Amino acid sequence: MKAFAMTETVFPRMPAARQRVLILSGLLFLLTGCQASAPVTSGVSLVEVNRLDPGIRLDIRYATAHNFTGHPLYPEARALLLPEPAEALVKTHRSLRGQGYGILVYDAYRPWSVTRSLWNSASEADRRNGYVADPAIGSRHNRGCAVDVGLYALDTGTEVPMPSAFDDFSERAHADWRGGSPAARRTRDLLRGAMEAEGFTVLPNEWWHFNFRDCDSQPLLDIAIDRVK
């Protein structure tokens, strides 16, 4: 057999069974090694969306205790994205101006290690229900091409009511939920239409979460938020 011929060349005086164990553990090491080295820790440009357009407002919940974990996960309130989705978000924001709205960002790039600590502190039930992303797969937020957004009114500066609050885990958060007030559904659908026109796709269970075009092909990133220039 070809494979054994190769191991015999590499390990000429070793018993065949021991050779097989060595080859298998080598393969396992390669597989798990590849997975562990997946997150990129430098060399990727992330852009601060409100530096591109200061009219984009931030309410970065994971930089405060006002999130479902009850404590801050980010050292700073920053909305960072890869350059292409950042530019697309600016275009969306500008396209909404005529209707009296601006983009309000709840979350953008999230370092992979934050997803890992969320997973480690989550209950079995929350993991099973998909409320936290499995770090073995990663979240699209870890790739810098997903963003959680709502709208604010340009004249008052206040958040526009939507059918549910951000990070609501009920069916009220579904992008096509037919309940709630007609006005709230209208602004939710207005936001979705404006985002879709610039290349974003809504997550069916979260009206606020949008992925940019080829998001899944981007690498997982683990660059600390306060280290991005």
Site residue total, Zn ion (CB under 5 A): 2
Task: Say whether residue 78 binds Zn ion (CB under 5 A).
Answer: no
Identify residues 4-23 at the interface with Zn ion (CB under 5 A). Answer: none
Task: Say whether residue 174 binds Zn ion (CB under 5 A).
Answer: no
Lay out the site mask for Zn ion across 32-71 (x = CB under 5 A, - = otherwise). ----------------------------------------
Task: Say whether residue 192 binds Zn ion (CB under 5 A).
Answer: no
Task: Say whether residue 93 binds Zn ion (CB under 5 A).
Answer: no
User: What amino acid positions are annotated as catalytic residues?
Assistant: 206
Lay out the site mask for Zn ion across 121-160 (x = CB under 5 A, - = otherwise). ---------------------------x------------
Q: Which is nearer to Zn ion, 167 or 222 (CB)?
A: 167
Q: DSSP assignment of 80-149, as one string? A: EE-HHHHHHHHHHHHHHGGGTEEEEEEE----HHHHHHHHHHS-HHHHHTTSS--TTT--GGGGT-EEEE
> In the complex, what is the shortest distance from the CB of residue 117 to Zn ion, in angstroms, rounded to a whole number?
17
Q: Which is nearer to Zn ion, 78 or 209 (CB)?
A: 209
Count CB neighbours of 95 within 10 A: 16
Q: Are 43 and 229 in contact (CB under 8 A)?
A: no
Handedness of CA 4, 7, 9, 12 (dihedral sign): negative
The dihedrals phi and psi of 80, each to the nearest 5 degrees, come to -110, 140
> In the complex, what is the shortest distance from the CB of residue 221 to Zn ion, in angstroms, rounded to a whole number?
15
Q: Are 205 and 173 in contact (CB under 8 A)?
A: yes
What are the structure tokens assigned to 23, written together?
A: 């080859």
Task: Say whether residue 110 binds Zn ion (CB under 5 A).
Answer: no
| Run of H or E including 4 | helix 2-10
> In the complex, what is the shortest distance from the CB of residue 86 to Zn ion, in angstroms, rounded to a whole number?
16
Count CB neighbours of 36 within 10 A: 9
The residue ranges that bind Zn ion (CB under 5 A) are 148, 209
